[in-house]
Structure 1
Amino acid sequence: MAWHVFMKELKDALRDRKTIVLSILLPILFNIGLLFFMEKVFMNDEVEQVKVAVDSASDKQVTNWLEDIEELEIVSSEDPLKMVENGDAVVAISTDSDFMKQLEKGEMPEVIIQADPTSTKGGNASDLIANTLTMKKQEFIQQRLVEHQIDPSEIEPFQISLKSVSEGDDMSLYMVSIFAQLIIVLAVLMGGLPAANDLFAGEKERKTMEALLMTPVHRLHIILGKWLTISALSMISGIFSVITFIVGVNLFTENLAEALQLDKNIGFFTVSLLVGIIFFALLISSLEMVLSLLANTMKEAQNYISPVTTLAMVPYFILIGTSANELSATYFMIPFLNIYALIKQLIYGIYDATSILLVVGSSTIFIVISFLIAYVMFSKSKWVLGKG
């Protein structure tokens, strides 16, 4: 009987245009739009120039150094600080007109860099200018050491080299991991939400739940069928998100596709991700049932579920600064956190069967607990029929 209830509710849900739009079409359009946004904005190799105002009285040599920086557009001004305050430039540079003469005399001239601390462009441009001037300063130090017949290695006992632990475009892969988690988890969360609100709170509000309970179908079969319906819609939304993500990355992007390299392990990647989606959908659907049973109206159900959706994003921010190699077994045993951890691990090409089993095992435990809570509530008229 549970299967018949499931098929009936699923057909009714799929006949509703809102379900198709919210659970399937909207995630697809969102994913494609997000991929284009990532490729064009975050992975854009084009250099965007920012305006830097240099005091017209400054030494020309300093201006020449800054003009060699590709990212900067140098503008001469009698009052560079005024240009920054008016928004006509992001950084103001000023120095003495006899800057080079002071250097030759062994004096210590000053270069003043001014920018709005709240401006990202201003901060980045200031760092770029400071790094360039530091390199020039090192050149003068080396020159003075040679002039005084001092070996430069005497004051530089060792060198520092920063290298990545992996090969390839780390930043592109990092961006993929961040957005993949967001895309897939939100799709699963939102996929079954309309159905969860409608199948319990909606039926209580429409007074159709009483007629359903008067049928000879056992309540366990009814709630099982409704739960499978919500889960199926969440899974469909999640699966479509994975498909559009994989297809979108490989067909519509270059940097992201090169970083992801799905063609090497697409089979294991897809199967593992689908396993995670299925169990996450079953868990979130049982929780949505509990919250929908608590509500008496659709609006009330939305008010209950919305904070939970927000809380589901907390693990995303917890893991945003954690590398895939730092993920321990604990991450895969905590609900919600485990799906984020699994996606990040798969994106970075780490295929660990133990992690998948931990996700499945821990999710199963919490699925059983949350479903039993929902079933106990569904067995009581107080929750299943609502007020009155």
Structure 2
Amino acid sequence: MNSAGVNGLRAHFVWQVARKELLSTLRDRRTLTSTILLPLILIPIFVIGFPLLLGRAFSGQSQERQRVGVIGTLPAALRARLTADAGAEVGVTLLPVTDPVRAVQDGTVQAVLRVPGSLPTEAGGASGTVQLYAKLGNLKAESGVIGKLKSALGAYNSSLVAAKLKGRGLPASFLTPVRVQTFDASRPQEAASGQLAFIIPMFLLQFILAGGMATAIDSTAGEKERGTLEVLLVSPIRRAEVVVGKLLATTATALTAAAFGLLGLLLSGLLGGILLRGTPAGVAGAMGGRLSVAPASVGVLILMALSAALLLSALLIAVSIFARSYKEAQTYVAPISLLIVLPAIGLQFADFIGRGAGLYALPVVNAMVVILDIVKGALSMPMALLALTVNLLVTGLLLLLAIRSFRREGVIFRN
């Protein structure tokens, strides 16, 4: 009977239970792989690889000569603009077609320009119409041939207007007396994180869940299935000490996964500035890839990861103890991932969601919101403290539920 801890818990027995579960987890190589390797691989792939892939795809479209069908007559100056190379952007190849819809659908051409009548060769006279046929919902077409055609048509219109103004002795700025200059007022971190910032909290919590899941299930339903849980419960160790020991072991493996997830995030920030240098600025800026965390926010990030790990570990143990076997426990805990995936999808629209206290009072969700705030450089300490307090309170309630379940013979011997 060693010195008692909080609420009569004996630290020695708690540590013995936690040590036993950790050693059991360390023997499972698959768990180690999902805890260590996956965070280091997946986060850089999504944070850097996705923008890099899109950037190369967008730049490749500008350097590829697409086929464009033509129905009707195009002015010589417009044809020249469409087919000419402008800097790094390659022009298009014009081909005669008869059916614009069929030609686009069967891939004969990527787009079709149809001129029902005739097009003007100077401004001030009759106007003309150009009909553009393309797959408007196709990202490849939107970033490639459609952009080229609209740019060439816009440049042709501007050249006609400029020539007309010059003939009358007016400057080109005559039609635009007011110019608009835009400046990015975002925080540096927010501008760098881009639209992919929402995947960071999702990945961190998914790794916490995946890291703790194997230990939680094996230490409850797994021991039930093997018949070793009864041996543990008839020992001098109290039920509460058993639960707290299993909670500490589960939290340790969950935090290990989170730590390697943070390391993957750090590697993404270091490598992003190097690997994304050749990526088009618009794509890199929109998709992110150069993520960083302010040193002052690292402590808050660690505390939020710890609170989320404790909460999810307590939830996993409280649910898994009701299962008769390891496989049955997996079906019980599988829906828990929806607690992370569904809010993570909502984080894509975080700019439209009000950041009131109610959002930070939602368990698990609040951890993702605070982590997103940290990534974007918009951390609010009062809201972070609220989220931390809520997660710890819910963890306590789940821990009491797990202890109560461990004291019920109908649950322990439910096989």
- State the alpha-carbon separation in 2 of the partners of residues 283 and 237 from structure 1: 15
1:78 pairs with 2:106 = no
Contact 1:66 1:72 in 2 (8 A): no
Contact 1:188 1:234 in 2 (8 A): yes
* Equivalent of residue 227 in structure 1, options 214, 233, 247: 247
- The offset of 1:273, in angstroms, is 1.2
Contact 2:239 2:406 in 1 (8 A): yes
Give the TM-score taking structure 1 as reference length. 0.85
1:357 pairs with 2:388 = no
Q: 2:305 matched to which residue of 1? A: 277
- State the alpha-carbon separation in 2 of the partners of residues 379 and 253 from structure 1: 54
* Equivalent of residue 54 in structure 1, options 38, 54, 69: 69
Q: 1:65 matched to which residue of 2? A: 81
1:166-190, CA deviations, whole angstroms, 9 ceiling, x for partnerless residues? 2669664214523322321221121
1:253-276, CA deviations, whole angstroms, 9 ceiling, x for partnerless residues? 4348994355xx3x3232221111
- The offset of 1:142, in angstroms, is 6.2
Q: 2:129 matched to which residue of 1? A: 110
1:13 pairs with 2:28 = no
Judge which range, 216-225 or 27-36, deviates more.
27-36
- State the alpha-carbon separation in 2 of the partners of residues 373 and 40 from structure 1: 47
Q: 1:311 matched to which residue of 2? A: 339
Q: 1:260 matched to which residue of 2? A: 291
**Residue type at the aligned position of 2:125:** G
- State the alpha-carbon separation in 2 of the partners of residues 57 and 382 from structure 1: 82
Distance 1:135 1:321, change over 3 A: farther
- State the alpha-carbon separation in 2 of the partners of residues 383 and 202 from structure 1: 14
1:298 pairs with 2:326 = yes
Distance 1:58 1:185, change over 3 A: farther
Contact 1:176 1:347 in 2 (8 A): no
Map 1:156-235 → 2, pairs under 5 A: 159-166=179-186, 172-235=192-255
- State the alpha-carbon separation in 2 of the partners of residues 159 and 212 from structure 1: 77
- State the alpha-carbon separation in 2 of the partners of residues 227 and 167 from structure 1: 39
- State the alpha-carbon separation in 2 of the partners of residues 43 and 171 from structure 1: 17
1:206-261, CA deviations, whole angstroms, 9 ceiling, x for partnerless residues? 22222221212111111111111111111110011101220232146434899435
Contact 2:209 2:312 in 1 (8 A): yes
- The offset of 1:105, in angstroms, is 7.6
Distance 1:106 1:226, change over 3 A: same
- The offset of 1:163, in angstroms, is 3.9
Contact 2:115 2:130 in 1 (8 A): yes
- The offset of 1:372, in angstroms, is 1.6
- The offset of 1:285, in angstroms, is 0.7
1:304-363, CA deviations, whole angstroms, 9 ceiling, x for partnerless residues? 211220232111122212249963433322112212111211112234322321221111
1:121 pairs with 2:133 = no
Distance 1:282 1:324, change over 3 A: farther
Q: 1:372 matched to which residue of 2? A: 400
Judge which range, 237-246 or 58-67, deviates more.
58-67
- State the alpha-carbon separation in 2 of the partners of residues 94 and 64 from structure 1: 17
Contact 2:318 2:402 in 1 (8 A): yes
Contact 1:282 1:367 in 2 (8 A): yes
Judge which range, 39-48 or 228-237, deviates more.
39-48
Judge which range, 16-25 or 253-262, deviates more.
253-262
**Residue type at the aligned position of 1:269:** S
Aligned alpha-carbon RMSD (Å): 3.3
- State the alpha-carbon separation in 2 of the partners of residues 152 and 33 from structure 1: 47
Contact 1:268 1:351 in 2 (8 A): no
Distance 1:169 1:222, change over 3 A: closer
**Residue type at the aligned position of 1:4:** Q
Contact 2:316 2:333 in 1 (8 A): yes
* Equivalent of residue 137 in structure 1, options 157, 160, 164: 157
Contact 1:48 1:71 in 2 (8 A): no
Q: 1:28 matched to which residue of 2? A: 40
- State the alpha-carbon separation in 2 of the partners of residues 173 and 359 from structure 1: 23
Alignment partner of 2:92: what SS?
Answer: strand
Gaps of 5+ in 2: 1-12, 277-283
- State the alpha-carbon separation in 2 of the partners of residues 42 and 343 from structure 1: 25
The number of equivalent residue pairs is 383
1:73-114, CA deviations, whole angstroms, 9 ceiling, x for partnerless residues? 41221217344222244322233685244x568222211111
Judge which range, 103-112 or 230-239, deviates more.
103-112
Distance 1:16 1:187, change over 3 A: same
Distance 1:261 1:381, change over 3 A: closer
Judge which range, 253-262 or 187-196, deviates more.
253-262
- The offset of 1:156, in angstroms, is 6.2
Alignment partner of 2:318: what SS?
Answer: helix
- State the alpha-carbon separation in 2 of the partners of residues 136 and 328 from structure 1: 50
